[in-house]
Amino acid sequence: MSVPRGALGIVVPLALLGSWQLLAGSGVYSEAQLPPPGEVVAAFGELAGRGELWHHLAISTQRVLIGFAFGAGGGLALGALVGLSRAANAALSPTIQALRAVPSLAWVPLLLLWLGIGETPKIVLVAIGAFFPVYSTVSAALAHVDPQLVEVGRAYGRSGVRLIGTVLFPAATPSILSGLRLGLAQGWLFLVAAELIASSMGLGFLLIDSQNTGRTDVMLLAIVLLAALGKLSDTLLGLAGWRLLAARR
Amino acid sequence: MSSSLPGPAGLDFSRVGKDFVVNGRGRPVLTGIDLSVAAGEVIAVLGPSGCGKSTLLRMAGGLETTGEGSLSVDGRPVRRFEPRCAVVFQEPRLMPWRTLHRNVAFGLPRGVTGEQARTEVEHWLDVVGLRDFARHRPRQLSGGMAQRAALARALARRPGVLLLDEPFAALDALTRLRMQDLLVDVQRTAGTTVLLVTHDVDEALHLADRVVLLGVTGKAATIRSVIAVPGARPRDRADPVLAELRVELLAELGVGTPTVHGRTQP
């Protein structure tokens, strides 16, 4: 078995591409319903040629990165507070759980009303999306650090901030990293929700615009680009986390 | 080591007792413990499982509050997480994300940093025979090696009293004997006061100056007897005097040794 595992991961996408081509050529669907992959590549060329595509990509990526930074930062801070302090847990946890239960789209009208239709409501919605996975994993990871290790920390004179820095956070780091990845993924999810409803740019706008203009090829292109960008950002974050963990392995 | 090295400390239990609260009701575990451990002395606390041996040790280390009575190290009352004591638990409890070197460094007193810290950690790693493993992670070690690292971490704290909570119980028989010999060596060089909790009679006799036997009388456990172990360490495991003490202690613990009566005494 000399096939590298990375190469194995490309098999399914290629198979999907093949079936897509076959299905599009079979005549089961009209070209307006399912254009062949070639059309999508052509649409890519067209949009990229006009320079429009880069704007959509850049603005979506920017919204996700800024929103993720705020959401993940807030999730880390509040997750740490709730995970480390029983009082904070008792006081805040029920409210946060309830807010978490609100579906993403439910926030949209309120955010538009309060924050207008500029960049802010979109970034806030992405931040809301990124916040909850980070908050949940961080608070759970910190609350469930091996009590035997915590006791060692205390027995060897660590308390307060020093206990958090030398025992609690290092012990929770792997979980915190996976929480950040979940948060980033959910940030992309909420981005599309925001852009579908009120925007004039971005991949979500491209989706809704292509629906209005009957450009199924552009619609599929936007979906493929969302998949690629989501995977790319997750891979980069995963690599950064892996390097952090490898440094202490 | 530096000249400011605090020497071994004495440990005093005075009418110490402890209740555990189960379902809202207090259940006495230990009562009326009176014991004076001299500086540099090695005491083994022996008793059946569940009799409160570990609780006794945890109170001495300030890991648990003293219920009644008073507990002091060198005349000053034991505080919460007493800084003059260092504990080795039954499990190594090393930080899996730290190298052995940094795990041992975790035990250093707060002011010790830089070059001095490095030298001290290397010294203690050397003492427990782990010099070549300084850069290893805990998961790369055997149970015995991990427990040696935990011992080095405790010694790095330069404790007045070393508290050992059944530290060798989870090791295989041969490793356990080696660890006992290592402890004898370390104790001789460092001169530390040691309170060792164990359920192993041979271990107690091999290591301790005095063996404190806990037993349940009435509801709670208390000291049944204190036996001075003759002979300087390192001791011969086959010493007939120790063999007699062994039979005596086992009998006190309720374990009969029928063969002893038939054996010809030397």
Q: Is the pLDDT of residue A2 over 70?
A: no
Mean pLDDT of B7-27: 90
DSSP run (H or E) holding B250 = helix B240-252
CB atoms A155 and B97 under 8 Å: no
CB of A175 within 8 Å of a chain B CB? The answer is no
Query: Please, what are the domains in chain A?
Result: 52-248 (1.10.3720.10)
**Which candidate from B63, B83, B91 shows the least CB-CB separation from A157?**
B83
pLDDT score, position B265? 45
B30 within 8 A of B16, measured Cβ to Cβ = yes
CA B99 to chain centre: 25
B206 within 8 A of B46, measured Cβ to Cβ = no
CB atoms A167 and B63 under 8 Å: no
pLDDT score, position B2? 41
CB of B95 within 8 Å of a chain A CB? The answer is yes
Q: What is the largest CA-CA distance in chain B?
A: 63
Q: How close does chain A come to B109, measured CA to CA in Å?
A: 8
B37 within 8 A of B84, measured Cβ to Cβ = no
Q: How close does chain B come to A127, measured CA to CA in Å?
A: 31
Write out the two tokens for A71.
């959401």
pLDDT score, position B210? 97
Chain B positions in Cβ-Cβ contact with residue A152 (cut-off 8 Å): 89, 93, 95, 106
DSSP codes joined into one string, B88-125: E-SS----TTS-HHHHHHTTS-TT--HHHHHHHHHHHH
Tens of pLDDT, residues A188-229: 999 998 898 778 899 999 999 999 999 999 999 999 999 999
CB atoms under 10 Å from CB of B98, counted, come to: 17
Q: How close does chain B come to A145, measured CA to CA in Å?
A: 12
CB atoms B86 and A173 under 8 Å: no
Mean of the per-residue pLDDT values of chain B: 90
CB atoms B137 and A249 under 8 Å: yes
The SS3 call for residue B233 is coil
Mean pLDDT of A115-132: 92
CB atoms B81 and A171 under 8 Å: no
- Model confidence at B76, pLDDT cuts 50, 70, 90, reads very high
pLDDT score, position B262? 47
Residue in A closest to B93 by C-alpha? A149
CB of B110 within 8 Å of a chain A CB? The answer is yes
3-state secondary structure B173-218: HHHHHHHHHHHHHHHHHHCCEEEEEECCHHHHHHHCCEEEEEEEEC
Count of alpha carbons within 13 angstroms of residue B40, beta-carbon side: 6
Please report the ipTM that was assigned to this predicted complex.
Answer: 0.90
- Model confidence at A168, pLDDT cuts 50, 70, 90, reads very high
CB atoms B110 and A157 under 8 Å: yes
CB atoms under 10 Å from CB of B266, counted, come to: 5
CB of B73 within 8 Å of a chain A CB? The answer is no
Q: Is the pLDDT of residue B22 over 60?
A: yes
Measuring CA to CA, which residue among B84, B216, B108, B213 is closest to residue B159? B84
Tens of pLDDT, residues B230-250: 989 989 999 999 999 999 999
- Model confidence at B78, pLDDT cuts 50, 70, 90, reads very high
pLDDT score, position A249? 56
CB of A174 within 8 Å of a chain B CB? The answer is no
Q: Which residues pair with residue B35 across a beta bridge?
A: B13
Alpha helices in A1-146 (DSSP H): 5-8, 11-25, 37-49, 52-84, 86-100, 104-115, 119-143
CB atoms A155 and B63 under 8 Å: yes
Cα separation, A193 vs B166, whole angstroms: 59
Portion of chain B with pLDDT greater than 90, in percent: 73
Cα separation, B192 vs A177, whole angstroms: 43
pLDDT score, position A197? 78
CB atoms A156 and B89 under 8 Å: no
Mean pLDDT of B186-198: 92
DSSP run (H or E) holding A174 = helix A169-197
Write out the two tokens for B191.
């001169």
Tens of pLDDT, residues B130-141: 999 999 999 999
Q: Is the pLDDT of residue A245 over 90?
A: no
Length of chain B: 266
A187 within 8 A of A195, measured Cβ to Cβ = no
Residue in B closest to A248 by C-alpha? B97
Q: Which residue in A145, A150, A154, A156 has the most chain B C-beta atoms within 10 A of its own C-beta, making it the best mutation to test that interface?
A: A156
pLDDT score, position B123? 94
Cα separation, A126 vs A188, whole angstroms: 7
Cα separation, A228 vs A203, whole angstroms: 12
Q: What is the pTM of this model?
A: 0.84
Higher pLDDT, A71 or B188: A71
CB of B156 within 8 Å of a chain A CB? The answer is no
- Cα angle value B10/B153/A153 (rounded, 5°): 90
Residue in B closest to A168 by C-alpha? B95
Tens of pLDDT, residues B31-53: 999 999 999 999 999 998 888 99
CB atoms under 10 Å from CB of B91, counted, come to: 17
Q: How close does chain B come to A154, measured CA to CA in Å?
A: 6
**Which candidate from A155, A159, A173 shows the least CB-CB separation from B87?**
A155
Tens of pLDDT, residues A77-116: 999 999 999 999 999 999 999 999 998 788 888 898 999 8
DSSP run (H or E) holding B43 = strand B42-46
